[in-house]
Amino acid sequence: MKILLISPETPNTFWSFKSSLKFISKKSSEPPLGLLTVAALLPALWEKKFIDMNVAYLKEKDILWADYVFIGGMDIQKESFQRVVALCNRLGVKVVAGGPMCTINHEQFKGVDHFILNEAEITLPRFLEDLKMGFPKPLYTTDEYPDISRTPIPLWGLLEMKKYATMDIQYSRGCPYDCEFCSITALYGRRPRTKDTDQLLRELESLRQAGWSRAVFIVDDNFIGNIKKLKRNLLPALIEWSERRNYPFTFVTEVSINLSDDDELMDLMVRAGFKMVFVGIETPDDGSLQECNKVQNRGRDLLESVKILQRRGLDVTGGFIVGFDNDRSDIFEKQIRFIQKSGIVTAMVGLLNAPPGTRLFKRLSLENRITDSFNGNNVDVSLNFIPTMKKEELIEGYKKIIRTIYSQKAYFERMITFLREYRLPVIYSSMLTWTDIRALLRAIWRMGIVERDKRFFWKLFFFVLYHCPRKFPQAMTMAIQGFHLRRVAARI
């Protein structure tokens, strides 16, 4: 059997960092971990090819080679997904589809021969067994959650690793919280399920043996969902593993803000090599936090919680939302002030939308307020529901936030705020690699010479060299990321 696995193209959005990737000669920020794991679940004797449309062109001859095309994706990839399915239909090659987008709303997609929904560890073997018998069904779904300690190592050999800025692995699925706008609990449940410590270390070792030596994104939606296991098992073992190998990786992950309450956990993560965490801040308005059931963010000084994480050696990126029913006209200035004071350099601010499958979607549907489909773009002026605030006021206020925080002046000021607060862990070297030097030269040319307003780049450049030279590589990385974010902001 010949299987072609296809990852659809992702548009140039906030998290794509496409403009920044050119500085480091990469094509995509990260690979599609789900499809690589699906590939490992397929029979070993089957021939497999993999095409990530973010790093390579999909040709008709690639599809014609295959007996089946396996394709996954998320809402942001919907248009590309549909184009690929239509092409497969025209060429007469059967399509097998799965992933979060299909699991939540597979009825919207035509032309797919077989849907493998929910988590593939359960539904894919059922499809394979029926395929072997010659009677595969059009739909496979389940209410069960698999034991992911049995999940195989992704097939890294299908990747052109050099085209990616980071590699992905997964430690857990599920989140103990139940924020109204989030689809994670609908997909994976509220009881975090984890891989075994030895299993995760084998995955990391397989990455290292494959030649990877850069950042690794642990893609859990809340890495600290099971704190006891982290403290007792994973992190002590990961520290030992990293120390023995002279820290081959730095780690990035997603956490809830209550990480800032646990000194031991923060220290363990930093010692293990964690450098950056994404936190869903959402809003500084407590009424809006109550509305969306963001219980973990309430009853605390959110600004101080961010500062604690930074002082412990963790760079905080943050997600913010405007458009809650509770939001008033002053929310836009509140968000701007919070973001600037926090020193969260990479602040993703989005308009509230209601993804299918969420409690928010169900509530708004009952209130007859859903007006459109969800496109999955975190930085877009589209709304799929009727807000309580006037739509024009909400969109203009949102645009004001984006224009302000991604102006060169505000971005530069936020970097300085962060660099003053951030304590760089001693385990990180301040030496520049050849890749770093090449990226720096490109940054100097593009932002320090070609760009019209170059003063903020040079202010940052000399501030860091004089006040905190060990943080220079990180500061230049942020400047390069800002180059991309300004272009995304300009489109909004």
Q: What is the pLDDT of residues 151-169, one digit of tens each?
A: 999 999 999 999 999 999 9
* Residue 488 Cα distances to 72, 180, 328, 378, angstroms: 25, 27, 26, 11
Is 350 within the bounds of a domain? Answer: yes
Average confidence (pLDDT) over 429-436:
77
Distances (CA, A) of 318 to 205, 280, 290: 30, 6, 19
Same domain, 172 and 277: yes
Q: What is the mean pLDDT of the chain?
A: 95
Distance CA 322, CA 336 (A): 11
54 falls within a domain? yes
Residue 247 has pLDDT above 80, yes or no: yes
The dihedral over CA atoms of 430, 435, 437, 438, expressed in degrees to the nearest 10, equals: -160
Domain co-membership, 345 together with 453: no
pLDDT at 367: 97
What's the pLDDT tens digit per position in 349-382? 999 999 998 999 999 999 999 998 887 776 778 8
Whether the predicted pLDDT of 1 surpasses 90? yes
What gap in Å lies between CA 169 and CA 253, rounded to an integer? 10
CATH number for the domain spanning 80: value is: 3.40.50.280
pLDDT at residue 123 is higher than 80: yes
Residues 451/487, Cβ–Cβ less than 8 Å: no
C-alpha span between 184 and 72 (Å, rounded): 17
pLDDT tens digits along 461-476: 999 999 999 999 999 9
Mean pLDDT calculated for residue range 175-199: 94
Task: Work out the pLDDT band at 491, boundaries 50, 70, 90.
Answer: confident
- The Cα 76–Cα 127 span in angstroms is 27
The residue type of 238 is: L
Last residue of a domain, one of 125, 140, 155: 140
Whose tokens are 């971990």? That residue is 33
103 lies in the same domain as 190: no
Q: Are residues 62 and 102 in the same domain?
A: yes
Q: Do residues 475 and 467 make contact, with C-beta atoms less than 8 angstroms apart?
A: no
Residue among 197, 98, 183 nearest 360 (CA): 183
Q: Mark whether 337 and 443 lie in a shared domain.
A: no
One domain for residues 42 and 100:
yes
Residue with tokens 């593993």, as numbered in its chain: 241
Domain that holds residue 291: 165-405
For residues 119 and 206, membership in a common domain is answered with no
C-alpha span between 369 and 177 (Å, rounded): 25
Same domain, 71 and 197: no
**Vertex 432, ends 278 and 422: CA angle to 5°?**
40
DSSP symbol at 10: P
Buried b (16+ CB within 10 A) or exposed e, 241-279: bbeeeebbbbbbbbbbbbbbeeeebbebbbbbbbbbbbb
User: Residue 18 — pLDDT band, cuts 50, 70, 90?
Assistant: confident
Interval 85-120: pLDDT, tens? 999 999 999 999 999 999 999 999 999 999 999 999
418 confidence band (pLDDT: 50, 70, 90): very high
The torsion of the CA quartet 133, 136, 141, 146, rounded to 10 degrees, works out to: 40
Q: Note whether 391 and 440 are same-domain residues.
A: no
Q: Rounded to an integer, what distance in angstroms lies between the CA atom of residue 224 and that of residue 198?
A: 18
In a domain, 324, yes or no: yes
Bridge partners, 114 (sequence order) = 96
Is the pLDDT at 432 greater than 90? The verdict is no
How far apart, in whole angstroms, are the C-alpha atoms of residue 424 and residue 416? 14
CB neighbourhood size of 380 (10 A): 18
Q: Do the domain assignments include residue 150?
A: no
DSSP state of 230: I
3-state secondary structure at position 2: strand
Q: For residue 217, tell me if it sits in a domain.
A: yes
Same domain for 339 and 445, yes or no, is no
Q: Which of 171-175, 192-196, 436-440 has the lowest mean pLDDT?
A: 436-440
> What does the pLDDT read at residue 427?
83
- Residue 8 vs residue 16, higher pLDDT: 8
User: Do both 400 and 467 map to the same domain?
Assistant: no
Q: 428 lies in a domain?
A: no
For residues 359 and 370, give the distance between their C-alpha atoms in angstroms, rounded to a whole number: 13
Contact 75, 375 (CB under 8 A): yes
Verify that 176 and 129 share a domain, yes or no: no
Q: Average pLDDT, stretch 330-336? A: 98
Are the C-beta atoms of residues 342 and 318 closer than 8 Å to each other?
yes
Q: What is the pLDDT of residue 349?
A: 95
pLDDT at position 129, please? 98
In a domain, 175, yes or no: yes
Answer whether 47's CB lies under 8 Å from 463's CB: no
Which DSSP category does 378 fall into? S
Q: Which of 140, 175, 200 is the last residue of a domain?
A: 140
CATH of residue 183's domain is: 3.20.20.70
Task: Say what the pLDDT of residue 430 is.
Answer: 67
Residue that is written with structure tokens 């029926």 in the block: 130
Q: How many domains does the chain have?
A: 3
Q: What is the pLDDT of residue 393?
A: 97
* Predicted model pTM: 0.94
**Does residue 176 sit within a domain?**
yes
Which of 386, 405, 424 finishes a domain? 405
- Structure token pair of residue 168: 């992905």
451: its two tokens = 């760009």
Number of other residues whose CB lies within 10 A of the CB of residue 340: 17
Spatial distance between the Cα atoms of 289 and 228, rounded to a whole number of angstroms: 27
